[in-house]
Amino acid sequence: MTHPNSRDRLPQRAAEAQLIHMARFVAPAVAAHVEQTEQQRTLAEPSAKALREAGLFTLGTPRRHGGHGAGVRTAVDVCAELAAGCASSSWLVGIAYGAALFASQLPDAVRTEIWASDPDALLCGAANPSGTVTAVPGGLELGGRWPWISGIDHAAWVLLGIVREDRGRPERGLALVPASELAVADTWHMAGMRGTGSRTATAEQLFVPDERFVSFAEIAEGIGVRRHPGEARVVFPLSINLPLVGTGVGIARGALELVVRDLAGGKRSISPLHTHTADAAPHQLNIAQAATLIDSARLHVRRAADEIDEAAREGRRPDLETRARLRMDGSHAMRCARDAVSLLLDTAGASSFSDDSALQRAWRDIGTASRHAALSVETSRELYGRVLLGRPLPHTDVV
C-alpha cells in the first residue's frame, strides 16, 4: 500500500539520493587535502570550498531558505561517504547539519537574518552549557568560554549552550550569535579528529536578543513545526547526533577497504606458517568479523535514522522507550565501528601505526570521535536499561 504522502516525497528522495552521490564524488577531493587539514588543525580551505560548492554544509538548512532540508538518513549516509576520505570533513558536515536543524527552530525573522544574504552559511555550536548569562532588557548578556566548537573557523553563526532563568527555574538552551562577535582561542590539540578545528569561543558582555534563544524543552516539544508548518519535526537530540555516527561508520569502512586491498594485493606474512597474510585463518576471521561489525553499525544507525525521519515527517516525538533505544542504536553503532578498526589494525600490524599511515589516522579519529559525550555507550546503556526496567530518570529534555 502506498503511503499517502509518498508521491510528495519522491522529488525530495531524488534530491537526497543526489546528495549522497555528490558526497561520494567529493570524498576524493577532501582526501587529497587530509594531511593539510590535520597539520593546520582546521579544515583546509580547498576542502571547505569543495564541501561548500557541493552544498553539503546546507544539508539541514530549510528548503524555503535555500537549503536541502535533508532527512537524518541522508545526513548519515553523506557523512559516511565523506569519512572514508576525511573524517574531519565528514564531522563538520554533520555538525553543520545539526546546527542548521537547531537554528531552523527559531522565528522566521531570525531565519531570514541567517540565510537571506548567504544561503550557504555554515553554522556550528556547542550544546553543553557554559559561560555566564545575565538577563537584560530585550534579551541576554553572555560572557565566558565555550570549548570544543567544531568548525568555528568556517562558521558564519554559532549556537552557544547556556542556562538562563525562566520564572525562577533553570532553562537549558541555545543562543545564536554571529561568529564575528566571538573571539576564538586556539585550544584544539588532540590525538584524533585534528582537522575539525574544535576551538574555544570567548565572549564578554555579548548581547543576544530574546528571539535568538531557543530552549531544549521547546525543541523537544516541537516548537519548530508550530512556527514553520510543513517542515519536518526535529526529534531532539537524536536528529542532531546520528549523522556523527555516520562519520564513525565511514571511518571504519575506509579502514576495511585499505586492509582488504593490502592483503588481497599479496601482503607477505611475518608468520612462518604462511607466505601471505591473506592465507592465515586468524586474519581471515578478523576481516570477516570487522566487516560484520561495520555492517552492524550501518544497520543500527540507518534503522534509527529511518525511524526518526518517519516520526519527523509525521510531526510526532517517539515515546521515551523508543528514544532510549534509538540512542542506544547510535552509541552501539559507533562502538561497533571502533571495534572493527581495532580488529583491522591487529591484522594490518605494527607498521600501520607509522605517522604516515592512513590506518593510524583512522585509529586516532575513531578513538576520539567515538568518545564524544553524546555517543557514550555507557550513558546510553544506563538510560536504556533504566527505561526498560521502569526505573525513574531525572527530568531532562535531552533523551
Which pTM was predicted?
0.94
Q: What is the mean pLDDT of residues 92-101?
A: 98
E strand segments, 72-156 = 123-126, 132-136, 139-149
pLDDT of residue 73: 97
pLDDT of amino acid 15: 84
In this prediction, residue 204 carries a pLDDT of 96
* Per-residue model confidence (pLDDT) at position 291: 98
Residue 136 grid cell: 537584560
**What was the pLDDT predicted at 266?**
86
Select from 155, 161, 159, 365 the least CA-distant residue to 252: 365
| Residue 196 pLDDT exceeds 90 | yes
Summarised one tens digit per residue, pLDDT across range 31-46 is 999 999 999 999 999 9
Q: Which of 299, 290, 264, 288 is nearest to 278 (CA)?
A: 264
User: What confidence score (pLDDT) does residue 274 get?
Assistant: 76
What does DSSP assign to residue 42? S
- Say whether pLDDT at 244 is over 90: yes
Are 168 and 134 in contact by the 8 Å Cβ rule? The answer is: no
Question: Which span out of 15-19, 353-357, 384-388 was modeled with the highest average pLDDT?
Answer: 384-388
Query: Rounded CA gap, 344 and 291, in Å?
Result: 9
Please give the order of strands across the beta sheet that includes 169-178. Answer: 123-126, 157-166, 169-178, 213-215
Whether the Cβ atoms of residue 219 and residue 239 lie closer than 8 Å to each other = no
Whole-number pLDDT of residue 271? 74
Which of these, 374, 10, 60, 109, lies nearest to 232 by C-alpha position? 60
Q: What's the pLDDT at 331?
A: 98
pLDDT at residue 317 in the model: 96
Would you list the domain boundaries of the chain?
Answer: 6-115, 123-215, 238-388
Band (275; pLDDT cuts 50, 70, 90): confident
Span 321-331, pLDDT tens digits: 999 999 999 99
Of the pLDDT bands very low, low, confident and very high (cuts 50, 70, 90), residue 7 is very low
Looking at residue 209, its pLDDT comes to: 98
Rounded to a whole number of angstroms, the CA Rg of the chain reads: 21
- Greater pLDDT, 275 or 297: 297
Q: Cα 222 to chain center, whole Å?
A: 21
Read off the pLDDT of each residue in 262-286 and give the average, rounded to a whole number: 86
- Section 268-296 average pLDDT: 90
**pLDDT score recorded for residue 93:** 98
Residue ranges with strand state E in the chain: 123-126, 132-136, 139-149, 157-166, 169-178, 183-185, 199-209, 213-215
CA distances from 227 to 8, 52, 59 (A): 21, 28, 20
Strand order in the sheet with 139-149: 132-136, 139-149, 199-209, 183-185
With bands split at pLDDT 50, 70 and 90, how would you rate the model's confidence at 4? very low
Confidence of residue 290 (pLDDT cuts 50, 70, 90): very high
Residue 375 CA from chain centroid, whole number: 10
Going from the C-alpha of 248 to that of each of 110, 365, 388, the distances in angstroms are 33, 8, 27
Average pLDDT in the 222-241 region?
A: 96
Cβ proximity of 152 and 184 under 8 Å: yes
* Domains 123-215 and 238-388 in one fold: no
Say how far apart CA 64 and CA 95 lie, in whole Å: 21
Mean pLDDT of 109-128: 96
pLDDT band at 233 (very low <50, low <70, confident <90, very high): very high
Q: Which CATH class is domain 123-215?
A: mainly beta
Q: What is the CATH code of the structural domain delimited by 238-388?
A: 1.20.140.10
The three grid cell numbers given for residue 216, joined into one nine-digit string: 531544549
Q: How far is CA 27 from CA 170, 192, 195, in A?
A: 43, 19, 15
Tens-place pLDDT, residues 358-390: 999 999 999 999 999 999 999 999 999 999 999
Least confident interval from 33-37, 228-232, 277-281, 383-387: 277-281
Q: Give the per-residue pLDDT at 1.
A: 33
- Among 125, 149, 113, 119, smallest CA distance to 53 is for 119
* Residue 83 vs residues 26, 28, 214, 245, 326: alpha-carbon distances, Å: 11, 10, 31, 10, 22
10 Å Cβ neighbour count for 125?
28
- pLDDT bracket for residue 61 (50, 70, 90): very high
170 vs 11 pLDDT, higher one: 170
* Residue 3 pLDDT > 50: no
C-alpha 71/C-alpha 101 separation (Å) is 10
Cα–Cα dist 342/252, whole Å = 9
Average pLDDT over residues 60-77: 97
User: Which residue bears the cell 537547531?
Assistant: 102
On the 0-12 / 13-18 / 19+ scale of CB atoms within 10 A, 319 is: exposed
How many CA atoms does the CB half-sphere of 47 hold within 13 Å? 30
* CATH code for the structural domain at 6-115: 1.10.540.10
> Per-residue confidence at 5, pLDDT binned at 50, 70, 90?
very low
Q: What percent of the chain has pLDDT over 90?
A: 89
Phi, psi of 206 (to 5 degrees): -90, 120
Compute the mean pLDDT over every residue in the chain, rounded to the nearest whole number: 94
Per-residue pLDDT, 273: 77
Which residues, in sequence order, are CB contacts of 2 under 8 Å at separation 6+?
none
